[in-house]
Amino acid sequence: MKKLIIGLLIGSLLVGGCKAGTISPASENISSKAPTVTESVGPDNLTWVAPAKVEIGRFYPGARAEFYLTVHNGSEDSKQFTVSYLVPSQIRGDYKTAIEGVESWVTIEPSGTVFAPRETRQIFVAVEMPKDAEEFAENWEFWIRVKEDQSGMIQTELASRILVSMR
């Protein structure tokens, strides 16, 4: 029975894909080195990023939100990846594209790194809205792109959706 339960758990993680992460502040200070982000682990032989979606709630001018993206190189070769801010090509219906300049509010560390074969790493991301920010939608979105740096016909490019709701 124990083996069946473990098998079902592992199977559901593999089939379920990457889950969304949510950052929900317990107080007015939403900065956190260890946010409550839930994620599942993808297959070892595929390149993936988790969580696929991060929701930042109750954001406001002067606030800072921090989280980690987990990136996995599913290749049998070392790969160089660049992690960067991306204006979305499509957005969720009740969200707006982030205003121009939001890119300067986002810190990504490291933004470029070489991954060994089958290596998994965490990438630190912080979003800090300036205290004097005035123009923004109630709900806005941007993406964090993870792109393989290589020449050739096929390149891996993945993204995590960052959904921000103002308080």
Q: pLDDT at residue 17 above 50?
A: no
Long-range contacts made by residues 11-18, C-beta under 8 angstroms, separation at least 24? Answer: 13/40, 13/41, 14/42, 14/43, 16/40, 17/42, 17/52, 18/42, 18/48, 18/49, 18/50, 18/51, 18/52
The pLDDT of residue 91: 87
All domains of the chain in start order, with CATH:
18-166 (2.60.40.10)
Furthest C-alpha separation in the chain: 58
pLDDT at 68 over 60: yes
| pLDDT of the residue at 23 | 55
